[in-house]
Chain A
Amino acid sequence: MKEVISANEAAAIAAKLARVKVISAYPITPQTAIVEKLSEFVADGELDAEFIKVESEHSALSACVGAAAAGVRTFTAASSQGLMLMSEILFVASGLRLPLVMANANRSLSAPLSIWCDQQDSFAVRDSGWLQIYCENSQEVLDSILQAYRISEQALLPVMVCFDGYILTHTAEPVDVPDQKEVDEFLPPYKYPYSLDPEKPLTIGAVGVPEYYEEFRYMLHEAVAASREKLVEVDEEFGRRFGRRFGLIERYFSDDADIVLVTAGSLSGTIKDVVDDYRAKGESVGHLRIRVFRPFPSDDIVDALKNAKVVAVLEKDISLGYGGAIFTDLAAAFANRGRKPPLMINFICGLGGRDVSPMDIREAVRQSASALQAGEVKRNVRWLGLREKILGLRA
């Protein structure tokens, strides 16, 4: 049934449809509405789950880790500072190979304090062993959370579903909410193979001495890399059942374009509009959206960009002192491919809630076109929409 809801509501409804048994979360802007809604579902008897109130995100994820180890389906949500507070337990969850699903409303990090959108929070924990999905709209948020449970429980890996704060969390749009019966068929009750059981004692959370630790990290790395296949399979099955599929990446007029704009998240919608304008004028501009960032779909990306002459990566995060997370991974994906990589430019934009307008995107296209003409890129990392006047760079 179609409903007009925000991404926060979509996330809460998805968790409810997945029949989660334990929810533990701490409110943080702009994610709060997710846990408010879930708390309402539990209080009204619409959802049979334990809602564990905690004093911090560190405890919220810890509670979910315990519940997942006991073998039940859990849900939590975070954002920004809250995700940072969870970071210790993020690594514990993946290291223990626990199936967990989390919604992250993307928000910038302090200091300076900012409650507005960028993607610095989740990109900062890209090395935590969590699979990361970046959504373009509220429908994709709902669908990705349902997919995430299947993937997580099959791969025994935690999954983080990320979506832009405010732009998605506080914007209502039509979302097709599937029937409970259909979701039950897609997501049957699962059995965690190592669940805590007094009849079958086992040790969870043992010490990894130097003779063992490296092998466990190797296994985790291999599992995250191999989850690519699960992501594809589950997305395909979801498509067969619900009529919607998203892919690891989304190609939008990217196959034959000279200039391809790459991004993750809601900015994709604006970029598609701008690409449509260029295409209407017969100009060779395309777009590639990275939906799954971990595992990084290198082969898919390199294939999608095989005809690109200039690749412009627009992203709302920065690894300070180097460049954006997507750009650096994307550039590395072209290593040892036996052919000349395209020219690549990184545009840092939209930090701390700065709006990225079609004008900004056209500026990125202009700079990419200049690089194409010159046959070289003089500056890898550039900032879009930077207010040079208040920096004293310009009178």
Chain B
Amino acid sequence: MKIAEGAVILEPGSSIRYETGNWRTFRPVVDPKKCTSCGICWLYCPDIAIGVIQKGKPAEIDYRYCKGCGICANECPVKAITMVSEERS
């Protein structure tokens, strides 16, 4: 694809094709038994890497985009998210 002058990106929403998951050194892992589907992790995720929470279903993390920042694990009120080293997972 030819690039536009001034680095202007003419196609809206094209960042979806830029998968940032390989930046991660720690991956958030959700414990479905503890997760209350409260949606706090979804609200805090700066990368929209957590899907919209369905009532009664545990949070789902999209590892194509999750950079492993750990905000979700920090904010989870019931400690249902653990950050696991990518080497060991």
Contacts and interface: CB of A to CB of B under 8 A. Distances in A.
Nearest to B6: A97
Nearest to B13: A201
A219 B4 CA distance: 9
A131 to B, nearest CB: 15
Given A201-B12, A202-B12, A194 B3 contact: no
Contacts of B12: 201-203
Contact of B7 (A156, A201, A216): A216
Contacts, number: 41
Interface residues of A, number: 18
B78 interface: no
A212 interface: yes
Task: Give the dominant DSSP class at B's interface.
Answer: loop
A215 interface: yes
Given A201-B12, A202-B10, A203-B12, A156 B3 contact: no
B52 interface: no
Interface of B: 3-12, 14
A204 interface: yes
Contacts of A205: 7
A96 B7 contact: yes
B10 to A, nearest CB: 5
A203 B8 contact: yes
Contacts of A203: 8-9, 12, 14
B6 A208 contact: no
A202 B9 CA distance: 6
Nearest to B12: A201
A251 B6 CA distance: 35
A96 B9 CA distance: 11
A219 B7 CA distance: 10
A202 B5 contact: no
A204 B6 CA distance: 8
Contacts of A208: 7
